[in-house]
Each structure stands twice: as structure tokens, then as C-alpha cells.
């Protein structure tokens, strides 16, 4: 290749950074859940799940605050009426189950409130149009974290996001073993660019969790906090701009399953934050600037005794799996 052609090639590759990132912007703004260009029913489908999960999470805390979700619950019921109260789609069944549990817990506590009457009327209306049981609410683990996993399937099926931790932190030896097991995760070209930053000092955990939105109600119970990050140096070219997130997410999933296998409790925590916050977390956590942050994970020993967790029901397989039979025509 001549020097001129090589230069042109270089310029072309550099321009890709602009055109590819610009197309990310296009797709995200056009199709995300707040875009007016997205189908309204699809937006509401996810909105109901997200809002209902906040209710399930509130119920799953060690001591739920009574009558929490005063704004969210009427909004969920409104959205369901808009979507179709007779529908048996997963979000509707999830919300029905969560509202049933919410109502039952409050009635058992002897609480009376117009919000509870509204939920009662809503659930009566729902029962009159559908016999399908609710699927959301709580999962109960009377004997604590399941310790015996006779099959790999049961190990996977029994993992859950645990928000109830023991005050005794996880020992570093187990943490190292979890990381070692998590390292069995595949990575592109075996790059292994994922980094695990672990914090166990209460002040640092508190300060880091204050920069994360999603741990209120149980942040005080967190005795160990992981920040999952990846090294940008492992990646090059515009086409690879998201690949660090892919590798790090596979690593994180392996990490949580490994933790579960070794009797540790974990809860993934989102880092859907702005760049300013990401930089603050890096500064506070001593994370180099050339790493990008993917997520946090609360990690510890499970609280002693019985545990409960948000039900987080799954969609039917038919909604997830699309089998394309035969040979595709090109």
C-alpha cells in the first residue's frame, strides 16, 4: 500500500469513530423507552416491570417501610389499565403478584389506608377478568441461602439477588476463590481485560453507594462492594467500542454464580451513571482513568436465618426464544 493509501485508510478508520458513535446515538434516541418513536405498548410493557420491581424490592428488604411506593403504585395500576388489565403478559402477572403481597403484608400489620383500598379494588377487577395467578412478590428461603447444589442447573436456578447481608464480611480467601472461578469466563481473544475492585471499609462503601442509584434501603447492610471495570487498552477500533462491556458482563455473571456456589450472597448494582459520576467513583475508589466502569456488586455473607428476595419472575421462554428453522435465504 502506498503512503497516500495508508494515510487515507487511517483517516477512514478515524472517521469511523464519529460515524459509528453517531449511529449509536441514532439507534438509542430513536428506540429507547422514552422515545416517542418507540411503540407505546412496548414502552409501557417495560415501564410496568421496572416500576413493579421497585415495589418487589421494597418488600424484600429486611424491614419494609410501611406504605412505601405511594406514587409508584397508582402509576402502575394506571399503566396496567392502559395496557389491558385482562392481559396475562408477564408484566401484568408480575404486578398483580407484587400488589397482592403488598396488600397482604399491610393488612397483616393492621394498616388501613385509601391506597390499600385502591389496590384491593384493582385486584378485584383483575380477578374478574383473568384467572391467571400473579407471579410477582417475594421468594422465601426459610433455611437461608441454598447451600447444596446437586446439579449445575440447580446452582443456576437457586442464585438470586440477595439484599440481606450478615454484619460479618466475607473473608478475602473466599473472595480470591470467587475471582479465580469467575476467571473461567470467556473473553474475546482471551484478552481478560476485566478488573475487580473490592472495597470493605464501611466509609468507602457508603461513599461509593451514594454515587449509585439502587441500593437505598439496604446499603447500610453492605459489607463488601465490588466495582467491575475493564481496561480500555485491550480494545481498538470503532467496531470494538462496546466489547469491553460484553466481556466484563460475562465475567460479572460468572462472579455472582461463583459467589453463590461458595455460599456468598451478592446483588448486582447498576452503574447507569453520567460521566461526572463515573469519574467521581474512579477518584474515590482509586480506579485508573483508562478503565471504564460496568457495574457494582454488593457482596457478603447472607444474613443469618430465613431470607427473602424479590420474586423477579421471568418471561415465558416463548417470549425470549425465536427459533428460525431451515436455511436462511440470502
Ligand X SMILES: Cc1cc2nc3c(=O)[nH]c(=O)nc-3n(C[C@H](O)[C@H](O)[C@H](O)COP(=O)(O)O)c2cc1C
| Identity of the residue, 122 or 214, whose beta carbon is nearer to ligand X in the bound complex | 214
Site for ligand X in 288-307 (CB under 6 A): 295
188 binds ligand X per the rule CB under 6 A: no
**What's the rounded Cα separation, in Å, for the pair 79 and 81?**
5
State in angstroms the smallest separation of the CB of 311 from ligand X.
8
Sheet holding 194-199, edge to edge: 194-199, 225-231, 291-300, 265-270
> Crossing angle, helix 275-285 and helix 202-210, to 10 degrees?
170
State in angstroms the smallest separation of the CB of 297 from ligand X.
9
**What's the rounded Cα separation, in Å, for the pair 59 and 64?**
6
270 binds ligand X per the rule CB under 6 A: yes
97 binds ligand X per the rule CB under 6 A: no
Cell (9 digits) for 3: 503512503
126 binds ligand X per the rule CB under 6 A: no
| Identity of the residue, 84 or 263, whose beta carbon is nearer to ligand X in the bound complex | 263
**What's the rounded Cα separation, in Å, for the pair 71 and 76?**
9
160 binds ligand X per the rule CB under 6 A: yes
269 binds ligand X per the rule CB under 6 A: yes
| Identity of the residue, 215 or 254, whose beta carbon is nearer to ligand X in the bound complex | 215
185 binds ligand X per the rule CB under 6 A: no
Q: CA-CA distances (angstroms) from residue 62 to 176, 217, 218, 302?
A: 28, 9, 8, 12
Angle at 286 between CA 257 and CA 273, to 5 degrees: 65
Closest CA to 312 of 38, 7, 97: 97
Which among 41-49, 101-109, 263-271, 283-291 is the span making contact with ligand X, rule CB under 6 A? 263-271
State in angstroms the smallest separation of the CB of 272 from ligand X.
8
266 binds ligand X per the rule CB under 6 A: no
The label of the residue with cell 422465601 reads: 140
| Identity of the residue, 92 or 265, whose beta carbon is nearer to ligand X in the bound complex | 265
Binds ligand X (CB under 6 A): choice among 158, 161, 183, 192 = 161
User: What DSSP designation does 324 have?
Assistant: -
Cell (9 digits) for 62: 429486611
260 binds ligand X per the rule CB under 6 A: no
Q: Which residues bind ligand X (CB under 6 A)?
A: 53, 57, 160-161, 163, 214-215, 267-270, 295, 309-310, 312
Amino acid at each position: 500500500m502506498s503512503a497516500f493509501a495508508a494515510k487515507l485508510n487511517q483517516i477512514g478508520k478515524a472517521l469511523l469513530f464519529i460515524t459509528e458513535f453517531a449511529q449509536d446515538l441514532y439507534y438509542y434516541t430513536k428506540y429507547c423507552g422514552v422515545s416517542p418513536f418507540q411503540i407505546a405498548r412496548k414502552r409501557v410493557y417495560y415501564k410496568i416491570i421496572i416500576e413493579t420491581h421497585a415495589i418487589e424490592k421494597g418488600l424484600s428488604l429486611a424491614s419494609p417501610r410501611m406504605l412505601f411506593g405511594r406514587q409508584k403504585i397508582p402509576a402502575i395500576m394506571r399503566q396496567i389499565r392502559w395496557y389491558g388489565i385482562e392481559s396475562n403478559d408477564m408484566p401484568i402477572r408480575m404486578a398483580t403478584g407484587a400488589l397482592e403481597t403488598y396488600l397482604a403484608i399491610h393488612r397483616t400489620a393492621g394498616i388501613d389506608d385509601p391506597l390499600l383500598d385502591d389496590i384491593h379494588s384493582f385486584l378485584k377487577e383483575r380477578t374478574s377478568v383473568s384467572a391467571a395467578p400473579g407471579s410477582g412478590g417475594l421468594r422465601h428461603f426459610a433455611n437461608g441461602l441454598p447451600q447444596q447444589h446437586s446439579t449445575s442447573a440447580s446452582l443456576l436456578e437457586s442464585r438470586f439477588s440477595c439484599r440481606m447481608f450478615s454484619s460479618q464480611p466475607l473473608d478475602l480467601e473466599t473472595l480470591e476463590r470467587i475471582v479465580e472461578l469467575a476467571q473461567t469466563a470467556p473473553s474475546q481473544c482471551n484478552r481478560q481485560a476485566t478488573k475487580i475492585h473490592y472495597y470493605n471499609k464501611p466509609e468507602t462503601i457508603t461513599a461509593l453507594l451514594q454515587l449509585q442509584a439502587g441500593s437505598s434501603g439496604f446499603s447500610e447492610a453492605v459489607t463488601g462492594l465490588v466495582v467491575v471495570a475493564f481496561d480500555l487498552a485491550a480494545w481498538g477500533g470503532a467496531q470494538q467500542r462496546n466489547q469491553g462491556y460484553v466481556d466484563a458482563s460475562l465475567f460479572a455473571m460468572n462472579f455472582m454464580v461463583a459467589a453463590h456456589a461458595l455460599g456468598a450472597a451478592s446483588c448486582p448494582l447498576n452503574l447507569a451513571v453520567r460521566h461526572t459520576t463515573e469519574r467521581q467513583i474512579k477518584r474515590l475508589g482509586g480506579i485508573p482513568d483508562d478503565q471504564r466502569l460496568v457495574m457494582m456488586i454488593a457482596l457478603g455473607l447472607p444474613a443469618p436465618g430465613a431470607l427473602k428476595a424479590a420474586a423477579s419472575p421471568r418471561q415465558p421462554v416463548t417470549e425470549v426464544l425465536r427459533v428460525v428453522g431451515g436455511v436462511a435465504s440470502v
